[in-house]
A and B are shown apart, each in its own frame.
Chain A
Amino acid sequence: MEMPKIDAAIVARKPAIVAALQEVLPPDAVIFDEAEVRAYECDALTAYRCPPLAAVLPRSTAEVSAVLRICHQMGVPVVPRGAGTSLAGGALPTGDCVILGVARMNAVLETDYPNRFIRVQSGRTNLSVTGAVEADGFFYAPDPSSQLACAIAGNIAMNSGGAHCLKYGVTTNNLLGVTLVQMDGTVLEIGGAHLDAPGLDLLGVICGSEGQLGVVTEAVLRILPKPEGARPVLMGFDSNEVAGECVSDIIKAGILPVAIEFMDRPCIEATEAFAKAGYPMCEALLIVEVEGSKAEIDEQLALIIEIAKRHNPVELREAADEDQAKRIWLGRKSAFGAMGQINDYMCLDGTIPVSSLPYVLRRIGEMSREYGLAVGNVFHAGDGNMHPLILFDANKPGDLELCEAFGADVLKLCVEVGGCLTGEHGVGIEKRDLMKVQFALEDMEAQMWVKDVFDPKWLLNPAKVFPLDVTASRRAL
Chain B
Amino acid sequence: MKPANELELAEAIRAATGPVRIVGGGTRRVGPPPAGALLETGGLAGISLYEPGALTLVAAAGTPLAEVEAVLAEGGQRLPFEVPDLRGLLGREGVSTIGGVVAANASGPRRIQAGACRDSLIGVRFVDGAGTIVKNGGRVMKNVTGYDLVKLMAGSCGTLGVLTEVAFKVLPRPEAEATLTRGGLDPVAAVAAMSQALGSPFEVTGAAYVAGQVRLRMEGMAGSVAYRQGALAKLLGAGWDVVEAAQSAALWQEIRDVTPFVGQPGAVWRLSVKPSDMPQVLALLTEAQTLCDWGGGLIWARVPDAGDAQAASLRGLLAQIGGHASLLRASAEVLATVPALHPEAPGVAALTRGLRAKFDPRGLFSAQE
Binding site for B on A (CB under 8 A): 112-116, 137-138, 158-159, 161, 165, 169-170, 172-173, 182, 186-190, 192-205, 207-209, 225-228, 247-249, 251-256, 292-293, 295-296, 299-300, 303, 351-355, 380, 383-385, 418-427, 431, 435, 438-440, 442-444, 446-447, 449-454, 465-466
Bound: A383/B56 CA distance, A: 10
Inter-chain contact B54/A435, CB cutoff 8 Å: no
A450 and B145 form a contact (CB under 8 A):
no
* Complex: A198 Cα to B143 Cα, angstroms: 25
* A203-B51 Cα distance, complex, nearest whole Å: 30
Contacts of B355 in A (CB 8 A): 200, 449-450, 453
Partner of B200, one of A165, A192, A225: A225
B148 touches A254 (CB 8 A): no
Q: Judge whether B359 is part of the interface by a CB distance below 8 angstroms.
A: yes
A46 to chain B, nearest CB (A): 21
Q: Is B245 interfacial (CB 8 A cutoff)? A: no
| B174 / chain A contacts, CB cutoff of 8 Å | 254
The docked-state distance in angstroms from the alpha carbon of A180 to that of B251 is 40
Q: What are 5 sample pairs from A and B whose C-beta atoms fall under 8 A apart?
A: A201-B152, A204-B118, A252-B75, A419-B138, A450-B358
Contacting residue for A194 out of B192, B223, B272, B344, CB 8 A: B272
Contact B352 A200 (CB under 8 A): yes
Residues of B within 8 A of A421 (CB): 145
Query: B53 contacts which of A159, A252, A292, A293 (Cβ < 8 Å)?
Result: A252
Min Cβ gap B234→A in Å is: 13
Contact of B294 among A195, A200, A422 (CB under 8 A): A195
Given contacts A355-B54, A419-B138, contact A172 B151 (CB under 8 A): yes
A420 touches B116 (CB 8 A): no
User: Please, how many angstroms separate the alpha-carbon atoms of A456 and B220 in the complex?
Assistant: 49
Distance A456 CA – B105 CA, assembled complex (angstroms): 29
- Considering the complex of A and B, which 10 residue pairs feature the smallest CB-CB distances, nearest first? A204-B151, A248-B53, A453-B354, A423-B142, A254-B172, A449-B358, A114-B195, A447-B147, A351-B140, A296-B224
Q: Which chain B positions have C-beta within 8 A of A199?
A: 155, 341-342, 344, 348, 352
Q: Does B115 contact A (CB under 8 A)?
A: yes
Given known pairs A443-B134, A453-B351, the reply for A424 and B274 (CB within 8 Å) is no
Interface residues of B in 125-175 (CB under 8 A from A): 128, 132-136, 138-152, 154-156, 159-160, 171-175
Residues of chain B contacted by A161 (CB below 8 angstroms): 142
**Which residue in B111, B128, B138, B224 is a CB contact (below 8 Å) of A420?**
B138
CA distance in complex: A380, B140 (Å): 12
Q: Which residues of chain B have C-beta atoms less than 8 A from A418's C-beta?
A: 138-140
| Cα–Cα distance between A438 and B138 once the two chains are bound (Å) | 10
**Is the CB of B323 closer than 8 A to any CB of chain A?**
yes
CB distance from A66 to the nearest CB of B (A): 17
Set of chain B residues within 8 Å of A247, measured between Cβ atoms: 53
B105 contacts A196, C-beta separation under 8 Å: yes
Residues of B in contact, count (CB < 8 Å): 86
A204 CA to B132 CA, complexed, in Å: 23
B144's partner among A182, A251, A426, A443 (CB-CB below 8 A) is A426
Bound CA span A445–B226, Å: 52
Q: How far is the CB of A442 from chain B (nearest CB, A)?
A: 5
CA distance A209 to B145 in the complex (A): 10
B294 touches A169 (CB 8 A): no
- CB nearest to B156 among chain A residues: A200
Interface centre among A159, A165, A435 (most CB of B within 10 A): A159
A454→B172 contact, CB < 8 A: no
Report the separation of the CA atoms of residues A40 and B151 in the bound assembly, to the nearest whole angstrom: 32
Q: How far is the CA of A18 from the CA of B331 in the complex (A)?
A: 59
Of all chain A residues, the one with the shortest Cβ separation from B169 is A383
Give bound CA distance, A299 to B111, whole Å: 26
Which chain B residues border A453 with CB–CB below 8 Å?
A: 351, 354-355, 358
Cβ proximity bits B105-132 to A, threshold 8 Å, 1 near / 0 not: 1010001100110110000000010001
B43 within 8 A of A: no
Given contact pairs A226-B201, A353-B51, A452-B358, a sample of 18 additional A-B residue pairs in the complex whose CB atoms are under 8 Å apart? A138-B199, A169-B119, A198-B155, A198-B326, A200-B352, A201-B156, A208-B147, A208-B148, A249-B53, A293-B228, A296-B227, A351-B140, A353-B140, A355-B51, A383-B142, A446-B359, A447-B146, A465-B147
**Pair A115/B56 contact, Cβ less than 8 Å:** no
Of all chain B residues, the one with the shortest Cβ separation from A182 is B347
Q: Could you say which residues of chain A place their CB within 8 Å of the CB of B359?
A: 446, 449
